[in-house]
Chain A
Amino acid sequence: MNDIVMAASVILILVGMTAAIFNRDPFDKLISLSVLIAGVFPFIIDRGFLDIAIATALIAPLSTIFTLMVCRRVQE
């Protein structure tokens, strides 16, 4: 992987982590987790684990949807 692409992925991960720590709204926290997962993906692809990348890309939104159901129930 190039250094520039790797630096961009690291910036995505750090920005998502920092925003997920310091946000108070649960929807903002979920958006920050989405940014963090987007930063993790180029590292999985770069090693050649394509099947793991496909499985992670299909499982990660499921966890977000389950967390959204909890958020919706708490607000009501």
Chain B
Amino acid sequence: MIALYVCAAIAVYAALRVIAERNTMRKLPFVNVISFAVTAIIALLLPHPITIIAAAAYFVGSTLESNAIASTWAGGIKKP
């Protein structure tokens, strides 16, 4: 039960850092931290065998999302 509280505290702290940060590039690591913390909350919240599949699906989806935002913001391949 302590682990759940620690994960919730990490998620709230990372969300506050996301809105406090001005640079867009510095926001993206904290979005990743939120996704890790919410994955841990999902895995710890409900004792059921399919919960780990839901946690893995959320982890894959949110990592894909933040990496897509980061690569689009960075500009991709520059054409000569």
Contact = CB atoms under 8 A, between A and B. Distances in A.
Give the interface SS of chain A, mostly helix, strand, loop or mixed: helix
Contacts, number: 126
Interface residue tally on B, bucketed by range: 35 or more
Residue with the highest number of chain A CB atoms closer than 10 Å, among B46, B57, B65: B65
A39 B41 CA distance: 11
A56 B42 CA distance: 14
Interface of B: 1, 4-5, 8-9, 11-12, 15-16, 18-19, 24, 27-28, 31, 34-35, 38, 41-42, 45-46, 48, 50-51, 53-54, 57-58, 60-62, 64-66, 68-69, 72-73
Interface of A: 1-2, 4-5, 7-9, 11-12, 15-16, 18-19, 25, 27-28, 30-32, 34-35, 37-39, 41-42, 45-46, 48, 50-51, 53-54, 57-58, 60-61, 64-65, 68, 71-72
